[in-house]
């Protein structure tokens, strides 16, 4: 009889198969020192484009002070227990009210983590009679929420409204026989390509089909829309999005997440989301720190304006230099190159070691074979000099790539 661990050696998984060659450098790198555009990687300062610290709040002195004051006052334990049993506080409820008002929804529920929150919101909302229709390039938390669903799920081609319409027709037919209903799920901003979900067009389909819409706006909250309220504000369709989700892991530079919706939906979620009912409440420094961050996002529009100044300079500069940055309309900036996985590692090694630039690198199986994406996340704390330095470095590595200088059999080694 086989041991359950036998297969671990045979099947490390799509990412794990690179563990021995990549660990500590391409995967699980350690970025040290204060969070910001210049951080230490392997003992040397590098210009860093890999953090979702969009508004630069992670290391802002006012944020640090709010976090540390709250930790000094409450410690990390309070409140103990799940919110339903013993872990509720006035601060948790204040943050919910502040978030609801900021995203222009009547009510809100705080979540311990975004990933678990999305997963169990989906689990709570649908039963086996219902049908989920979701975008093919949805984040893993959506996919895993869909996996929990006991009824049918139909996937539509990424951002393809014809495909969505086809799946809605199928779903409508099915729920007519099961007596269930339809939940459509997509993202506000897709984190790999930087394209926006076609929220306004999806909302318009409500004229033809009966469904509710859940949007994961992890990358849009704080970065998109006139006030930073997110991609629904940007596309002027706040009302048509029935369930708005975002995490604190990006613009808010914290931990936690929330869902905003109508009061009866939030009341239902409060009493039915297993990931929240059976897990400890967010500790006070994260809650008080989030109240501070949200106040800053609300009252300091200059943070978002600076993010967009850097974003526009970076994206325009890259385009002028002949780079393909895909179809982004958000700060997420993918630089699309062609090459093998060994080429990708030699190029990244050169970029990090000789140009001191650190950014995320995405290769097969996350993107098609032969494609390399260098993913840059501009922030409000980058400078125009950082942008110019990066574009100059990218020009150099691109010409080396085109000249075949990175064409090697083996992955680049690091000491
Ligand atoms: C699109 C999207 N949804 C959900 C999450 C999960 O949020 P959290 O980190 O709060 O679990 C992330 C990553 O942070 C994300 O990028």
The residue assigned the tokens 């970076």 is 314
Buried b (16+ CB within 10 A) or exposed e, 250-266: bbbbbbbbbbbbeeebb
Q: Please tell me the distance between residue 259's alpha carbon and the centre of ligand 1 in angstroms.
A: 13
- Return averaged pLDDT per consecutive 10 residues of the chain, 415 residues in all: 88 80 90 97 97 97 98 97 97 98 98 97 98 97 97 98 98 98 98 97 98 98 98 98 98 98 98 97 98 98 98 98 96 96 93 96 87 97 98 96 92 81
Domain positions in the chain are 6-59+301-402, 75-299
C-alpha span between 206 and 184 (Å, rounded): 11
Residue 250's pLDDT is 98
For atom 10 of ligand 1, the residue with the nearest CA is 114
Q: What are phi and psi of 361, to 5 degrees?
A: -125, 135
Q: Please tell me the distance between residue 411's alpha carbon and the centre of ligand 1 in angstroms.
A: 30
* Alpha helices by DSSP H, 215-340: 231-234, 263-272, 274-277, 284-299, 301-320
- Around ligand 1, the residues with Cβ closer than 6 Å are 113-115, 118, 139, 141, 187, 191, 216, 218, 247, 249, 257
Q: Please tell me the distance between residue 114's alpha carbon and the centre of ligand 1 in angstroms.
A: 5
Q: For the domain made up of 6-59+301-402, give the CATH fold.
A: 3.90.1150
Q: Please tell me the distance between residue 113's alpha carbon and the centre of ligand 1 in angstroms.
A: 8
Element (H, E) at 258: strand 257-261
Site to substitute for ligand 1 among 109, 114, 121, most atoms within 8 A of C-beta: 114
Site to substitute for ligand 1 among 51, 141, 142, 193, most atoms within 8 A of C-beta: 141
pTM: 0.96
Characterise 227 by phi-psi region: left (phi > 0), alpha (psi -120 to 50), beta (else): alpha
C-alpha span between 213 and 244 (Å, rounded): 9
Architecture of domain 75-299: 3-Layer(aba) Sandwich (3.40)
Residue 308's pLDDT is 98
Q: Of 241, 270, 291, whose CA–CA distance to 104 is shortest?
A: 241
């Amino acid at each position: 009889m086989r041991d359950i661990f036998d297969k671990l050696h045979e099947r490390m998984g799509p990412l794990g198969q690179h563990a021995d060659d990549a660990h500590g450098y391409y995967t699980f790198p350690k970025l040290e020192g204060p969070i910001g555009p210049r951080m230490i990687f392997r003992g040397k300062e590098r210009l860093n484009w890999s953090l979702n610290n969009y508004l630069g709040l992670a290391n802002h002195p006012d944020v640090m002070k709010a976090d540390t004051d709250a930790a000094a006052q409450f410690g990390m334990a309070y409140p103990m227990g799940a919110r339903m049993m013993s872990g509720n506080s006035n601060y948790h409820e204040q943050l919910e009210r502040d978030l609801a008002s900021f995203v222009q929804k009547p009510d809100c529920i705080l979540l311990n983590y975004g990933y678990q929150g999305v997963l169990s919101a989906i689990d709570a909302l649908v039963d086996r009679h219902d049908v989920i229709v979701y975008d093919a390039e949805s984040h893993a938390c959506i996919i895993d929420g869909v996996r929990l669903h006991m009824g049918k799920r139909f996937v539509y081609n990424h951002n393809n409204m014809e495909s969505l319409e086809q799946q809605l027709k199928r779903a409508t037919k099915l729920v007519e026989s099961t007596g269930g209903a339809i939940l459509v799920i997509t993202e506000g901003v897709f984190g790999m390509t930087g394209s926006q979900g076609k929220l306004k067009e999806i909302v318009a389909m409500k004229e033809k089909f009966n469904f509710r819409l859940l949007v994961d706006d992890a990358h849009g909250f704080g970065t998109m829309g006139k006030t930073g309220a997110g991609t629904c504000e940007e596309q002027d369709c706040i009302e048509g999005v029935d369930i708005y989700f975002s995490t604190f892991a990006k613009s808010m530079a914290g931990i936690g997440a929330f869902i905003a919706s109508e009061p009866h939906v939030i009341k239902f979620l409060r009493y039915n989301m297993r990931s929240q009912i059976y897990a400890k409440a967010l500790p006070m420094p994260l809650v008080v720190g989030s109240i501070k961050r949200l106040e800053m996002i609300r009252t300091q529009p200059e943070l978002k304006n600076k993010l967009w100044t850097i974003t526009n300079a970076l994206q325009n500069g890259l385009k002028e230099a002949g780079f393909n940055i895909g179809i982004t309309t958000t700060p997420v900036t993918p630089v699309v190159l062609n090459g093998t996985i060994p080429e990708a590692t030699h190029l990244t090694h050169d970029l990090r070691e000789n140009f001191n630039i650190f950014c995320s690198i995405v290769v097969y199986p996350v993107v098609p074979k032969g494609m390399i994406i260098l993913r840059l996340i501009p922030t409000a704390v980058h400078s125009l000099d950082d942008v110019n330095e990066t574009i100059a470095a990218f020009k150099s590595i691109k010409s080396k790539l085109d000249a075949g200088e990175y064409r090697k059999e083996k992955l680049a080694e690091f000491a």
